[in-house]
């Protein structure tokens, strides 16, 4: 019988491999021991040096970064979780269906109201009160200076709100007032800031204006139905440049610069689930938006606006979607004298978002009656 050929495992080659493996094991053990010592040296609650180098931002970079006007102080310092892509900060499971209403120009100057409304500040809202009750958040454009100070400027139309009418507007269901328009400064730029203070003293939030640039561009945050909502306002129709807030000077957020508007929207989106942009723009008497306003809408939507509301034209303009986002181009008059059929045709803009992010947008038809009171027409809503 032929002899068997036997291959031994302890050949020189296998011995070399075994020695290399043993050396690797010893090296790994040494590294693990060093890591344990490094972790033990860190104070309780503090990251180890290895963790700092991996996860902690460079503090010097934070100090050197320039702050951007338009970010609320709490947005920069609070401990809310970082917003994931899309700006969402709230848990989806906590959200309900959210309905938002916005109406156009509201004039509370007694010279522009009927005797019945002057006598009873609640009267102008009697036709809209029940509709507003369907919403979780109601916004208006207040087209008068809510101040009792200052002197009238030399301009064609000047409007001063009856301050006693502000609580009635709040009682009708109005939550947020945009003041960035061409009439809140009718009695001087200081009156713009005074208007903000008086509106807020009546229990509503004011947007689009401030004592300085940072306040004017700063979003106002409301939490409703489990949603964290940021609202930014812009004024694109001013008689003189000094109505625009700059650095430490008071005024309104500019509605002329798409880049600046987009930056304010982007900063708002970083601190909210939903961003509302409300803008005073357009041409008086026009039934369609201007090309430059389309450019502004594009910029705000690209920056994160979820819905855009426009006002100033004194005419109701179409609702359309731009890249899926509803844009109510111009909402016309609302609490205003009935000056013509076209000027009296108006609507309540309605934007609804479901917990899963699906949206609906409609114009609910209203008409201003002979007493300056907007009332529903009973016609079917125009929806997109």
State the chain's mean pLDDT as an integer.
Answer: 83
| Coil vs helix vs strand at 345 | strand
The 3-state DSSP composition of the chain as helix, strand, coil percent (nearest 5) reads: 30, 25, 45
Residue 342 has pLDDT above 70, yes or no: yes
Which segments within 299-373 are labelled E, that is strand?
307-311, 319-322, 325-328, 333-335, 345-353, 359-368
Question: pLDDT band at 4, cuts 50/70/90?
Answer: very low
Burial of 121 (0-12, 13-18, 19+ CB in 10 A): buried
Cα–Cα distance for residue pair 345/185, rounded to 1 Å: 27
Rounded to two decimals, what is the model's pTM?
A: 0.77
Q: What is the CA radius of gyration of the chain?
A: 30
Cα–Cα distance for residue pair 210/29, rounded to 1 Å: 63
Q: Phi/psi at 221 (nearest 5 deg)?
A: -110, 130
pLDDT > 70 in the chain, percent: 76
With CA atoms as reference, report the closest residue to 232 among 212, 249, 211, 255.
255
**Confidence (pLDDT) at 174:** 98
Cα–Cα distance for residue pair 41/330, rounded to 1 Å: 64
CB-based contacts of 375, cutoff 8 Å, min separation 6 = 127, 128, 366, 367, 368, 369
Alpha carbon distance, N-terminus to C-terminus of the chain: 95
Q: Are 373 and 354 in contact (CB under 8 A)?
A: no
With CA atoms as reference, report the closest residue to 268 among 65, 66, 70, 69.
70
- How does DSSP assign 202-213, residue by residue? TT-EEESEESSH
* Residue range 282-317, pLDDT digits in tens: 999 999 999 999 999 999 999 999 999 999 999 999
Cα–Cα distance for residue pair 316/328, rounded to 1 Å: 9
pLDDT (average), residues 342-348 = 98
Instruction: Extract the tokens encoding 306.
Output: 């979820």
Domains in the chain, ordered, with CATH? 12-55 (no CATH), 71-383 (3.60.21.10)
Residue 323 has pLDDT above 60, yes or no: yes
Question: pLDDT band at 90, cuts 50/70/90?
Answer: low
**Confidence (pLDDT) at 91:** 61
Residue with tokens 């987009």: 262
* Residue range 123-182, pLDDT digits in tens: 999 999 999 999 999 999 999 999 999 999 999 999 999 999 999 999 999 999 999 999
Residue 372 has pLDDT above 90, yes or no: yes
Residue 336, phi-psi category: left (phi > 0), alpha (psi -120 to 50), beta (remainder): beta
- Which of 16-30, 95-109, 137-151, 176-190 has the least mean pLDDT? 16-30
Residue 52 has pLDDT above 80, yes or no: no
**Confidence (pLDDT) at 93:** 74
- Which of 68-82, 207-221, 253-267 has the least mean pLDDT? 68-82
β-pairing, 333-335 vs 98-106, is parallel
Compute CA 50 distance to the chain's CA centroid, rounded to the nearest angstrom.
40
With CA atoms as reference, report the closest residue to 209 among 186, 191, 224.
191
Residue 364 has pLDDT above 90, yes or no: yes
Residue 24 has pLDDT above 70, yes or no: no
Q: Are 128 and 168 in contact (CB under 8 A)?
A: no
């Amino acid at each position: 019988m032929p002899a068997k050929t036997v291959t031994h495992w302890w050949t020189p080659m296998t011995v070399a491999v075994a020695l290399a493996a043993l050396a690797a094991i010893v090296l790994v053990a040494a590294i693990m021991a060093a890591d344990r010592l490094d972790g033990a040296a860190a104070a309780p609650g503090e990251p180890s040096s290895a963790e700092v180098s991996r996860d902690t931002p460079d503090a010097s970079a934070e100090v050197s970064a320039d702050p951007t006007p338009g970010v609320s102080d709490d947005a920069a310092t609070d401990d809310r979780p970082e917003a994931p892509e899309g700006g969402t900060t709230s848990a989806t499971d906590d959200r309900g269906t959210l309905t938002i209403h916005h109406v156009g120009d509201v004039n509370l100057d007694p010279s522009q109201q009927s005797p019945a409304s002057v006598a009873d500040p609640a009267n102008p809202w009697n036709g809209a009160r029940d509709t507003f009750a369907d919403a979780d958040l109601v916004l208006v454009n207040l087209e008068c200076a809510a101040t009792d100070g200052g002197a009238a400027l030399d301009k064609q139309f000047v409007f001063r709100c009856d301050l006693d009418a502000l609580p009635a507007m709040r009682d009708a269901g109005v939550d947020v007032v945009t003041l960035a328009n061409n009439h809140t400064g009718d009695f001087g730029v200081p009156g713009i800031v005074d208007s903000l203070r008086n509106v807020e003293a009546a229990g509503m939030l004011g947007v689009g204006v401030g004592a300085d640039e940072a306040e004017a561009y700063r979003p106002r945050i409301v939490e409703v139905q489990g949603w964290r909502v940021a609202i930014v306002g812009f004024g694109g129709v001013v008689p003189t440049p000094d109505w625009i807030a700059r650095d430490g000077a008071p005024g309104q957020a500019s509605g002329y610069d798409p880049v600046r508007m987009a930056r304010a929207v982007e900063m708002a989106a970083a601190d909210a689930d939903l961003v509302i942009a409300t803008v005073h723009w357009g041409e008086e008497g026009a039934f369609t938006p201007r090309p430059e306003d389309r450019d502004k809408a594009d910029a705000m939507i690209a920056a994160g606006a979820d819905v855009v509301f426009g006002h100033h034209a004194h005419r109701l303009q179409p609702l359309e979607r731009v890249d899926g986002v509803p844009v109510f181009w111009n909402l016309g008059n609302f609490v205003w004298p009935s000056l013509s059929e076209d000027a009296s045709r108006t609507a309540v803009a309605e934007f609804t978002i479901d917990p899963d992010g699906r949206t609906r947008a409609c114009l609910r038809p209203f008409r201003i009656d002979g007493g300056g009171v907007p009332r529903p027409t009973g016609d079917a809503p125009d929806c997109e």
